[in-house]
């Protein structure tokens, strides 16, 4: 699930990953802003053509969207308003699976308010995390679930600036391009 479809590129990248890896997982975009299109038209056409069978986007308040099922991946790509933080705590956090990872795109841009910063600080204090910074923006991934793959645990255990961290950062930067 991705809350906030943004420019659509990240959401379509998730759809492409599900497709290429032959995962049996739905991709769900929740766009909390109802007066803007969910995806720019060229990307909306790609979405309909390639991913429509397992992916959909809803324009709805995150506090009332999707009430069932466990969430393995929650991507936050919308401004973390006080209302969204309340919805995350009250409705979404309990639905995170034992394998759940919460990814925050550009935390410095979307977490401007005090409650948003406190929410991210609480995730960081409670969970192993990985942070990658580059010119287009930062990405933070929090390993929320207790049943994480060993590879993710090792990645989260890397210290910033070490050769292993720099190598992982380089790999992700290349993949991002």
In a structure prediction context, what are the per-residue pLDDT tens digits for the chain, which is 177 residues long? 999 988 888 899 999 999 999 999 999 998 876 656 678 889 999 999 999 999 998 888 777 766 667 899 999 998 999 999 998 998 888 899 999 999 999 998 889 899 999 999 999 999 999 888 776 678 899 999 999 999 999 999 998 889 998 898 888 877 766
The strand order across the sheet containing 129-132 reads 55-59, 27-31, 2-3, 71-76, 96-105, 139-143, 129-132
SS3 13: helix
Burial class (CB in 10 A: 0-12, 13-18, 19+), 143: buried
pLDDT at 66: 64
CB environment 67-102: b (16+ within 10 A), e (fewer): eeeebebbbbbbebbeebbebbeeebbeebbebbbb
Please name the helix (run of DSSP H) or strand (run of DSSP E) that holds residue 6, with its range, or none: none
Task: Supply 116's token pair.
Answer: 């948003």
For residues 107 and 164, give the distance between their C-alpha atoms in angstroms, rounded to a whole number: 24
pLDDT at 35: 58
For residues 70 and 171, give the distance between their C-alpha atoms in angstroms, rounded to a whole number: 30
pLDDT at 17: 94
Question: How much is the pTM?
Answer: 0.90
Cα 168 to Cα 16, 137, 151, 161, distances in angstroms: 22, 17, 12, 11
pLDDT at 135: 66
pLDDT at 51: 96
pLDDT at 74: 94
Q: How far is CA 160 from the centre of its chain?
A: 21
pLDDT at 138: 85
pLDDT at 80: 92
pLDDT at 45: 94
Sole residue written with tokens 């809350």: 3
Count of CB atoms situated within 10 Å of the CB of 117: 15
């Amino acid at each position: 699930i991705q809350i906030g479809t943004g420019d659509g590129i990240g959401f379509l990248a998730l759809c492409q990953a599900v497709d290429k890896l032959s995962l049996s997982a739905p991709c769900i975009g929740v766009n909390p802003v109802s007066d803007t299109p969910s995806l720019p038209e060229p990307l909306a056409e790609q979405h309909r053509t390639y991913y429509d069978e397992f992916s959909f986007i809803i324009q709805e308040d995150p506090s009332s969207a999707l009430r069932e099922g466990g969430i393995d991946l929650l991507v936050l790509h919308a401004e973390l308003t006080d209302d969204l933080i309340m919805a995350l705590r009250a409705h979404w956090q309990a639905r995170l699976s034992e394998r759940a990872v919460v990814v925050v795109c550009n935390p410095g841009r979307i977490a401007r308010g005090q409650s948003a910063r406190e929410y991210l600080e609480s995730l960081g204090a409670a969970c192993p995390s990985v942070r990658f910074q580059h010119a287009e923006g930062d990405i933070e991934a929090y390993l929320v679930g207790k049943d994480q793959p060993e590879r993710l645990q090792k990645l989260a255990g890397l210290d910033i600036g070490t050769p292993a961290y720099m190598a992982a950062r380089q790999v992700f930067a290349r993949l991002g391009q």
